[in-house]
Amino acid sequence: MRRRALLLSAAGVLLAAGCGSSPESDPASAPAFAQPKPSASVPASGPSSADKPDTSVPATLAFGGKTLDGAAFDAATLAGKPTILWFWAPWCATCASEAQSVRDLQDEYGTRLNFLGVAGMGGNKEMHQFVSDLEVGNVTHLDDQAGKIWKKFRITEQSTYVVLDRGGDVVERSYLDDLQLTARVKSLVA
């Protein structure tokens, strides 16, 4: 019995270590990270008061990062609205083909829904060029070269959308073509 416990413990250590492979070098080998429970929430920072509305932030939005320009970004600011996280790479042709739809949907629905671009697998200069060339500067984009946000949401390929409802629950994590994305946006703001 003790031997079995030791073997299971050793197997757990090997799994946690990724068997020597680095998730940065092979995203497909990244360990599956547990999705935060939708009901879990993290209190927003700052003083609390009985007059203030509930300021809890869903665990899915408890992350931060840097914009492409290096400014700090706190995803807690997205709480309370449906949110679409767009995971893209600057060299991705599919991502480039989606840019116009993302830009147009942001223009049309941006007051009722959040779009957040999460760029990875490329350099900051190339990320800036992508945003400029494809005219998606109306969307906030994070520079996630380290892949921390990609790992949090278990993203292993681009282009992937993570769709969060108003409460921060993940309702979809997949590739969406333009028609599917538009339909999903309309259902979120209806």
What's residue 149's pLDDT?
Answer: 97
The domain defined by 81-190 carries CATH number 1.10.10.60: no
What SS3 state is found at 118?
Answer: strand
pTM for this entry: 0.72
The neighbouring-strand residues paired with 88 are: 119
Integer angstrom CA distances of residue 177 from 28, 48, 163: 22, 42, 14
| 160-164 and 114-119 beta bridge pairing | unpaired
Phi, psi angle pair for 30, to nearest 5° = -60, 140
Nearest alpha-carbon partner for 98 in 128, 131, 129, 63: 131
What's residue 56's pLDDT?
Answer: 83
What's residue 159's pLDDT?
Answer: 94
Per-domain residue ranges of the chain: 81-190
For the purposes of burial, counting CB atoms within 10 Å of the CB of 9, is it exposed (0-12), middle (13-18) or buried (19 or more)? exposed
pLDDT tens-digit profile, the chain (190 residues): 433 333 333 333 333 333 222 333 333 333 333 333 333 333 344 333 344 444 588 999 999 999 999 999 999 999 999 999 999 999 999 999 999 999 999 999 999 999 999 999 999 999 999 999 999 999 999 999 999 999 999 999 999 999 999 999 999 999 999 999 999 999 999 9
What's residue 57's pLDDT?
Answer: 86
Question: Contact at 8 Å (CB) between 135 and 128?
Answer: no
What's residue 177's pLDDT?
Answer: 95
Question: Contact at 8 Å (CB) between 152 and 176?
Answer: no
What's residue 110's pLDDT?
Answer: 94
